[in-house]
Each structure stands twice: as C-alpha cells, then as structure tokens.
C-alpha cells in the first residue's frame, strides 16, 4: 500500500514482489479456498449491490477485494484476476457524475455509513498498485473530492464506523496529494482527523473489560487505530508523538494474548486464555503492524507482526481455508455451540465454530487480506536500496539507480533459522541490502562466519555484476514466557507451541436466510476428545524438525515439534460450562508422574491448550518476557 514517503520504507507492488516456497503455497491454498471462491458461493459478494445485485452494498465486497485483488496478482492467477476485475469494472462504471461511488440512491446518502467510502478508496488504490489501471487515479480523485464536498454541505456525515475508522482514507489521500497537491485534500484530511474519534479519550475503558458492546472498545477499531498517526500526521501537519507505541502496551497489558493479539469478542475481553479474538482483528492488527514497521523502521513492529502472522492467523482457519472461526481462543478444547448462554462477552454461542459465516460475515469477507499483505511485507524499498523485513521465501525484481536487480530469498523461516539471499545485478551497483535479524537470534553467522547485527540489522553494501550469494544462520532457544495468573507459554523463535487436542469432527450442512452451507463451504463442529488438564513439569524442551509438507501449517504433519515433560493436574471447568477450561486450574499439584508430550506450533492446531501452569517454582523454571 502506498505510504507517506517521509516514512522509513515503502512497499513494493505485486508486479515487483512475488512469493516463493511455503509462502506461495499458503497463498495457493487461500486462492483455492473460500477467499478465492467467495464470489461464487456467498450471496453477499456474488449478488452484491456493488455489482448491481440486491445483497449487501456496504463493506463486504470491498473487504473481499482488499484480499482477493493482491492474492490474484501475487499468484498471477488469471482467473481470479479476471473475476476481481469484473467487480472493479462494475464499481468504476457505476461511479456517478458527481464522484459518488457507493451503491445507494442519493436520498439514502445521508444515513449511509461512510466507512464504506474510506474502505473502497483503500481498495481502489490497492487495485491500482497491482494492475496499473489508469482509470483509478481519476476515480479516486472524484470520489474523495465528492466526499469532501458532501461533508462540507452536511449531506453525509462521519459517524458510527466511519468516525472510528477515519484514518483508513489516508492511503488514498496521501496518494492523491503526492500527484496533485491541492488544498482541498489537506482540508479533507484535517476534517477527518477533527471529526474522527480521538482514542486517547477512551483509554481507561480498555483497562476493565465489560460484557457490553461499545465502539470505544471494539477490537477491530482498536487494531486499525494503531496505524492512525503514521498514516495521517504528515497530511494534517502534526508531529509524530509515538501514539502506537504508547497505546499498544496498554492494550497488551489489559487484554493481550499469548500470540500477540488482543482479546475481543467483539469488544475487549481481558487476559483470560478462554476469551476470544475476532479474526478481523487478527488481519487488521497485521496490517497496522506492517504499516508501522514500514513507516518507523522500528524492529519491534516486524517482530510483533511475525508472532501474529505465524500463530493467530493460521490457527483460526481450517487447513484448506474453506472455513474459519469468528473468534479463536488460546486455550480451546472444544468448538461446538454452547448449549446455554454464551461464554463470550459480546458474541453468540457459535462464534468459535469453524464455518462459512459464524456469528457475523465481516470476517468471511475480510480474512483474505492477511497472507497477501504479509507477502507484500517481506521486502521493502529503502532510500539506499532494499530491506529484507520478514525473511520469508520471496523474490523482488526492481532497479536501483537505473541498475536492474533481482533479490531472491530462499527460506523455510520461521520453521528453520537459516536462509539464503541471491542478489543478481546487471551491473555493479552500490545498492545496500539490509536484513532484519530477530531479537531472539543467537549465534548469528553470515556465510559460515560469526557476525553481529548492528541494531538488529545486517547491512551488505554494494554488489558486483552477476550472482552474489549470502547465507544467514542463527539459533533460537525454546523457553517459557510468563502469562497472567501464574500461567506459562512455550515459545521458540516467533512460534508459540501448544498441546494439540484430538477432535471428533462433525460436518454441518444447512441453509439459513438464503445462505447455503454446503461442503466444502459448510460448518464444522470440533469436539475435543483427548486429555488437556496438564502442566509443565520441567524445562527440558526437545526440538525436532520435520519436512514442510503441502500444507505448511498442518496439524498431522507439523514442520516443527517440541517434546516437553507434562503432568496431569486437577484443572476444572469455567462455572456453568463443560467445554471451557477454567481460566486457571483448581490445583497445581501433579496427580501422576510427568511424561513426554509432543507440542506443535499454535498455528497448526485446531483445538489446543497453550497457557499452562508450571509445577515447579519460578526459580527452577526460567521465564522470559513476551
């Protein structure tokens, strides 16, 4: 996505950057699954008012396109490119003379939530970056100019979702201003910032979650919010204050999970490992972290992104990506509907099942952006060259000072801690290739020789004509991190490990409100049938590497496993439930002898126990901060 050029880095387009290896395979699975077929099977996209139909004409088609468009172009999938272009063509063709683009009649504009305007502007910009379609800049100009005029005349308003997501229009505004620095763009930018929600005024509400739905504590709003300052500051003429770095620890302290997300089902829900995290929040948090790293260059944002992307995102999708959860939980021993009241604060009793549209359909449309935008964050453009930001298998073709350069990253990271960079230059170049090294890396070597990263960055300055090879390796150590209520979580690099729970799976096919659930886009109940009431009994963790198969995040064939010594304890259930473990166990006294159990990456699990107590005092089992 186009970023303010005063930022540290900027993004390559899908024409320059392509996924390889396991990352490409993950995108192929997504294209063959729900995201790549939503326009065929789901009425809210298939028959949307955005293309002249009679179904939803607000956020669902733009949400879907926000992921499906870059997915199509990253894979050079001609069929998916054609199908997404059909939607773009229809949207552009329906743009009215005054610039209005959303599918509502003029008399309905006053009550239309203008969040859709902000969202479609971002989507059109994404499409332009992927396709180079020169219809888009003019359409964006007319769209945002019309929005400015209608706001000024009081014919539309920034209310409800639009008020809380005011900054989502800034990628388009920054883009327009870079091409045509007209004063109305700054006026609109300042108006959005002035009328949009100031989240600093509601921080106290994040500290004590309630069983109450509010915009102020809505998890998706808050995950989007983190990037608001870096997107808007330049255009509205304000100095950066470190807003995201100040707010993120507050959210983490009172609502953080073991996998780098916040609980929110749909609103903030505290630190219990049995409270849910909405899937929309996962992918929007990733997007914010990608933008924050690109703008600030602060390595913490890239490392936080890794934790979310390699754990929370894959865990809330089935392996074929035809079904998803609305909310995932860190300690999740059963995914069947609650028979009585819901365990969640603001979600219904089926929000955690895997299916086509559990609870609400926003995540059905929105989850697809996660992997494509991650792929577009592997390499970033720097003033002096290129930075390898997330060392995932990918290739970038670009030019530096007129010299064509191709950089290929061969990697199985995060499942392996080594990778090879191949730099091919048509002429000798003084381009710098920077490589971000994660903070947990030990024993760093470059081409077999010990090396030290400076401020977490390796820099390689200048390359000869032809092929240049760089091999980077390091080690990581499995370790326990503290969690609230005396619980612990096992980490190895960017991966969190869980005890997988065996499940009996029931396929559920039915029709509701005209929406068919039919295999493979049906619902699934996962009923846990193996023991889960265990605790860490030693710090002896044995890591084993396994081949990365056709499904990278496979439960039956995980790329990494860790054997740990665990013992059973008397744990118990949450009051009133028989499928939700108590937040913390009744007793931490072992009821049998410890034995080795196999833990697998959190992202490979469907049902799992992740936060466990330890049987030994803190002085014996060592902990690290998350």
Q: How many CB atoms lie within 10 A of CB 621?
A: 16
Q: Within a 13 Å sphere around the CA of 170, how many CA atoms are in the beta-carbon half?
A: 27
Question: What is the helix (H) or strand (E) element at residue 116, kind and residue range?
Answer: helix 115-131
Q: How high is the pLDDT of residue 619?
A: 34
Calpha distance 453→251 (Å, rounded): 30
Question: What is the helix (H) or strand (E) element at residue 449, kind and residue range?
Answer: strand 449-450
Q: How many CB atoms lie within 10 A of CB 530?
A: 11
Main-chain dihedrals φ then ψ at residue 50, nearest 5 degrees: -60, -25
Q: How high is the pLDDT of residue 329?
A: 98
Q: Max CA-CA distance within the chain?
A: 75
SS3 321: coil
Share of the chain above pLDDT 90, in %: 96
- Per residue in 557-576, pLDDT tens? 999 999 999 999 999 999 99
- Per residue in 323-380, pLDDT tens? 999 999 999 999 999 998 999 999 999 999 999 999 999 999 999 999 999 999 999 9
Q: How high is the pLDDT of residue 47?
A: 98
Question: What is the helix (H) or strand (E) element at residue 89, kind and residue range?
Answer: helix 78-93
Q: How high is the pLDDT of residue 626?
A: 52
Q: How high is the pLDDT of residue 200?
A: 95
Where along the chain do its domains lie? Answer: 33-196, 379-411+418-475, 479-624
Calpha distance 246→143 (Å, rounded): 34
Which parts of the chain sit beneath pLDDT 70? 1-5, 616-626
- Per residue in 452-502, pLDDT tens? 999 999 999 999 999 999 999 999 999 999 999 999 999 999 999 999 999
Strands (E), 554-603: 560-568, 595-601
Calpha distance 52→284 (Å, rounded): 28
CB 80 within 8 A of CB 68: yes
Which pTM does this prediction carry? 0.97
Q: How high is the pLDDT of residue 3?
A: 45
Burial of 183 from C-beta contacts in 10 A (0-12 / 13-18 / 19+): exposed
Calpha distance 310→419 (Å, rounded): 17
- Helix count (H) and strand count (E) of the chain? 18, 28
**Within its chain, how far is the Cα of 261 from the centroid?**
9
Is the domain covering 379-411+418-475 a CATH 3.40.50 domain?
no
The two three-digit tokens of residue 319, written as one number = 């392996």
Strand-pairing partners, residue 335, are 526
Strand-pairing partners, residue 55, are 48
Q: How high is the pLDDT of residue 623?
A: 41
Q: How high is the pLDDT of residue 7?
A: 86
Calpha distance 605→617 (Å, rounded): 29
């Amino acid at each position: 996505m186009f970023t303010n050029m005063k930022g540290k880095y900027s993004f390559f387009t899908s024409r320059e950057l392509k996924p390889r290896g396991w990352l490409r395979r993950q995108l192929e699975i997504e294209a063959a699954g729900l995201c790549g077929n939503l326009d065929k099977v789901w009425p809210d996209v298939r028959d949307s008012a955005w293309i002249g139909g009679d179904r939803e004409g607000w956020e669902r088609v733009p949400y879907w396109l926000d992921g499906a468009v870059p997915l199509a172009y990253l894979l050079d999938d001609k069929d998916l490119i054609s199908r997404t272009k059909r939607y773009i063509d229809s949207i552009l063709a329906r743009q009215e003379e005054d610039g209005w683009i959303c599918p509502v009649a003029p008399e309905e504009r006053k009550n239309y939530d203008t969040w859709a305007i902000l969202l479609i502007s971002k989507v059109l910009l994404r499409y332009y970056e992927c396709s180079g379609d020169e219809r888009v800049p003019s359409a964006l100009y007319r769209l945002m100019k019309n929005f400015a005029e209608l706001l000024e005349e009081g014919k539309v308003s920034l209310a409800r979702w639009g008020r809380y997501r005011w900054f989502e229009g800034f990628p388009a505004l920054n883009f327009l201003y870079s091409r045509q620095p007209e004063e109305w763009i700054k006026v609109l930018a300042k108006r959005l910032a002035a009328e949009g929600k100031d989240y600093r005024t509601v921080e106290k509400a994040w500290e004590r979650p309630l069983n109450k739905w509010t915009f102020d504590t809505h998890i998706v709003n808050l995950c989007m919010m983190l990037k608001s300052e870096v997107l808007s500051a330049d255009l509205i003429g304000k100095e950066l204050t470190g807003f995201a770095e100040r707010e993120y620890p507050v959210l983490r302290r009172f609502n953080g999970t073991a996998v780098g997300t916040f609980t929110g089902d749909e609103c903030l829900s505290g630190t219990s490992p049995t409270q849910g995290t909405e899937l929309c929040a996962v992918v929007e948090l990733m997007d914010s972290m990608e933008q924050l790293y690109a703008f600030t260059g602060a390595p913490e944002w890239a490392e936080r992104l890794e934790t979310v992307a390699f754990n929370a995102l894959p865990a809330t999708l089935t392996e074929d990506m035809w079904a998803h959860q609305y909310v995932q939980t860190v300690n999740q021993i059963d995914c069947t509907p609650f028979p009585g009241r819901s365990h969640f604060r603001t979600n219904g009793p089926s929000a955690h099942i895997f299916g086509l549209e559990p609870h609400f359909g926003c995540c059905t449309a929105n989850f697809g952006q996660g992997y494509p935008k991650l792929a577009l964050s592997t390499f970033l453009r720097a003033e002096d060259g290129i930075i390898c930001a997330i060392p995932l298998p990918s290739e970038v073709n670009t030019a530096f000072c007129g010299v064509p350069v191709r950089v290929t990253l061969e990697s199985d990271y995060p499942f392996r801690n080594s990778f090879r960079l191949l730099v091919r230059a048509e002429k000798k170049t003084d381009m710098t290739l920077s490589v971000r090294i994660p903070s947990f890396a030990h024993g760093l070597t470059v081409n077999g020789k010990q090396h030290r990263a400076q401020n977490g960055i390796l820099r390689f300055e200048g390359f000869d004509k032809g092929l240049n090879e760089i091999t980077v390796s390091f080690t990581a150590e499995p370790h326990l991190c503290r969690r609230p209520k005396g619980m612990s979580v096992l980490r190895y690099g960017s991966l969190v490990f869980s005890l997988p729970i065996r499940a009996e799976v029931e396929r559920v096919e039915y029709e509701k409100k005209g929406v068919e659930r039919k295999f493979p886009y049906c619902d699934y109940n996962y009923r846990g049938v193996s023991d889960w009431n265990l605790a860490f009994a030693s710090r002896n963790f044995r890591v084993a590497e396994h081949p990365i198969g056709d499904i990278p995040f496979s439960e039956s064939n995980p790329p990494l496993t860790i054997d740990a010594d665990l013992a059973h304890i008397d744990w118990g259930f949450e009051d009133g439930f028989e499928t939700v473990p108590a937040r913390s166990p009744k007793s931490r006294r072992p009821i049998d002898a410890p034995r080795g159990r196999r833990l697998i990456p959190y992202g490979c699990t469907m049902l799992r126990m992740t936060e466990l107590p330890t049987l030994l005092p803190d002085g014996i089992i060592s902990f690290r901060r998350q």
